[in-house]
Chain A
């Protein structure tokens, strides 16, 4: 740093600051402030503006909020395009993300106030519900991104994912060898444990981390009461180590699932929302 030209110090200092600044706090919470002002404006004007016979999407005020909301949704969905486009133009990606988060939150107010709180079983409310789903999944995403990485890191215990898998493979090879002296029954449970692919886990199992049909655990139970037999003891000890390794992998998968699940809602629901919005707008003008 000392070698930096003095004239550039301010510039680099700013760079340094932004490097360590969360996108949530970007530029002193600039977008939080803008979004708050936007929300307050909507809430206050809702009560000040007098429309007949009552607030809903079909008044001039409703159309105004609807237009703002629609444009906002389209812009927010462009984050996916922007982040793939490396560029110094069009705001920094961090600023863009910050705006995405806070303007997305403001959309709760804009969208809901646009409805005038008239909800029903129709495509209009479908669009609203999808919008809320997208926003709520986004909030979830921010929360888990701030909470879970630490747990994920703790669970690794300085192992890479490949090493976890290698470890499991190493134990499996030893089990294969160690199980040779076992009789049919015990050999079968070991085969079942070895054949079960740890990554063949369903959505719910990954999210909850519960594997009621874990063959390794079943195999361990099968070795209850075989104490004294040397070969069996060896296999049992290997199975216990396999179980521990499985647990680590599964915990890792669980944290990953909890971290990633929101995107599997956020992204498809956004596309669905754009479809529902299209139907919403077209239907309103079709039956004008």
Chain B
């Protein structure tokens, strides 16, 4: 076997010096000692470092003589067998021995010395850092971007904005402050969504009451401030602490708008004010506010006074009285109207309803809705109109001419008097007896005229106004200015003074009846209003609080079908805060009704 040893050196100027020598032997020795076949003058190489011997199949074996190894294609080892035809690179310290063989030619060993290069370079390439920007650079870039976009821009544009009156429809001037919003505004404030500075006027100053009042200028104080302060109960220690902290941070204090009205709670209606804000004052208020007329209240289920009703308690007087439903209440609205009689399933009224049912949409018996018509918003009921509700049965017709009926005008006693007095066709006593006038002049015919004395007309008027008469049937007869008359009627549209009741959300069988805690069937008018057993209109048919509590208990009552906070029925703000306008009865004169009764 022959080896071709080629040594490549470099001159100081970098020129290559190639020296070849051929060795016709089977094995080679490698080491620092000069007698080696391959002499490598590097102190890191052993004197006798390794040897190369032939192996089977044209292969060569390199083996370390001592304990120090060498590298084969970069890998450290002490023994390696390789095919010179495929090529291999052996490394001894700073020397590289490239071993190759072309066909059957001599095994060529090219010896070069490598220059020193920093070893850390290679290792660095393995790090992910070599493929990514540095963490520090990313952190700084992100830091600056976040601070610019979410802090610098909004603050700068907010500080340099022009101060204008807030406009509900226009966006504000602060840029990027939408990113500061913690949630959508409620429906009523939705127009201010892009106008943060409308409410958040000054930097680091909490939303002030005066800012709310720029738009809500009609809102009055709930009560006089000094009375409010007196009635507010002592705060718990926790609340005291919380308010101390809040005031340190510049909040206005208990009782300001934002205490009760929290915003940014998401689109939709604003959250109702929690009952605890009401209870702060109204719980045990009589001990602090000695002269108050109001009973204590803290929770609808457990601490709420009996409902009170406003009603006309004096016959014929406009003066109203307000009394607790626990007190004996006698309502004097001036009408005689037994609900029980009218709602009875059998008897005269039911019969009458059945008879004229097709004309008036009545069923086999009268029902509440036949007289009580809901308002368009179904919140309450329209005033009962005699002409609409009663006259179908209680007719005021007093004459018939041809096919046309003449009807008295309801509600005007003087007119009734005049109409009846002037009734020229009343069956007066004829002047002559036994003879009838012929043709068109006969009684009941076109030219009939009655020349008798009109005394029966006056008897008719008096009869009508008597207790059993047509007017007196429903109205209470009285005498005014020496003449027979009826007591004026005052009907109440609402019995509630400081709260409201929404029939729509209760009625139309929209909710279910509760019996003994169980839902059963559907609620009807009479399940709250005991009209079916009321034999006199002196009964005030408003349900007591116990019936409300079948469904409604306090805000936190888990067992109640409808947990109810104060705000469900009461408003804190005296006027426009949501109390529906009391429906006013348009008629200023409530008077009698009459039907004709021939003498």
Contact = CB atoms under 8 A, between A and B. Distances in A.
Given A178-B100, A203-B132, A234-B86, A56 B182 contact: yes
A123 to B, nearest CB: 4
Given A237-B86, A261-B128, A264-B135, A171 B73 contact: yes
Contacts of A177: 87, 98, 100, 110
A57 B86 CA distance: 72
Contacts of B85: 230, 234
B171 interface: no
Contact of B71 (A166, A230, A260): A166
A170 B249 contact: no
B203 interface: yes
Interface string A76-112: 0000000000000000000000000000000000000
A199 B74 contact: no
Which residue of A203, A263, A272 has the most chain B CB atoms within 10 A of its CB atom? A272
A161 B122 contact: yes
Contacts of A126: 146, 150, 179
B265 interface: yes
Contacts of A124: 180, 182
B242 interface: yes
A283 to B, nearest CB: 4
Interface string B55-72: 000000000000000010
Contacts of A114: none
A282 B125 CA distance: 43
A58 B263 CA distance: 10
B98 A174 contact: yes
Interface string B75-88: 11000000001111
B265 A282 contact: no
B345 to A, nearest CB: 49
Interface residues of B, number: 67
B89 A170 contact: yes
Interface residues of A, number: 69
A275 B73 contact: no
A212 interface: no
Contacts of A234: 85-87
Contacts of A169: 74
Interface string B387-405: 0000000000000000000
Nearest to B147: A275
Contacts of B204: 285-286, 288
B452 interface: no
Interface in A32-82: 52-54, 56-58, 60
A267 B178 CA distance: 28
A199 B130 contact: yes
Interface in B198-244: 200, 203-207, 242
A283 B154 CA distance: 9
Nearest to A280: B150
A189 interface: no
B131 A201 contact: yes
Given A122-B181, A173-B98, A206 B151 contact: no
A191 interface: no
Nearest to B181: A122
B104 to A, nearest CB: 11
B142 A268 contact: yes
A270 B143 CA distance: 10
Contacts of B287: none
A252 B88 CA distance: 24
Given A230-B103, A264-B138, A279-B147, A287 B196 contact: yes
A167 B135 contact: no
A167 B75 contact: yes
B126 interface: yes
Given A53-B274, A272-B139, A288-B205, A256 B86 contact: no
Contact of B151 (A261, A282, A288): A282
B87 A268 contact: no
B234 to A, nearest CB: 19
B183 interface: yes
B127 A260 contact: yes
A145 B181 CA distance: 40
A270 B150 CA distance: 17
B87 A288 contact: no
B151 A279 contact: yes
B129 interface: yes
Contacts of A199: 125-126, 130
A120 B122 contact: no
A226 interface: no
Given A268-B139, A288-B206, 9 more contacts: A52-B262, A53-B262, A234-B86, A237-B87, A238-B86, A245-B74, A252-B126, A278-B147, A283-B151
What 5 A-B pairs come out closest when comparing CB atoms?
A167-B74, A199-B125, A271-B139, A166-B74, A165-B122
Interface of A: 52-54, 56-58, 60, 118, 120-124, 126, 159, 161-171, 173-174, 177-178, 198-199, 201-203, 206, 230, 234, 237-238, 241, 245, 249, 252-253, 256-257, 260-261, 263-264, 267-272, 274-276, 278-279, 282-288
Interface of B: 71, 73-76, 85-89, 91, 96, 98, 100, 102-103, 110, 119, 122-123, 125-132, 135, 138-140, 142-143, 146-147, 150-151, 154-155, 158, 177-184, 196, 200, 203-207, 242, 245, 249-250, 262, 264-266, 271, 274, 276
9 contacts: A52-B276, A159-B74, A166-B74, A199-B130, A264-B135, A272-B143, A284-B180, A286-B204, A288-B250
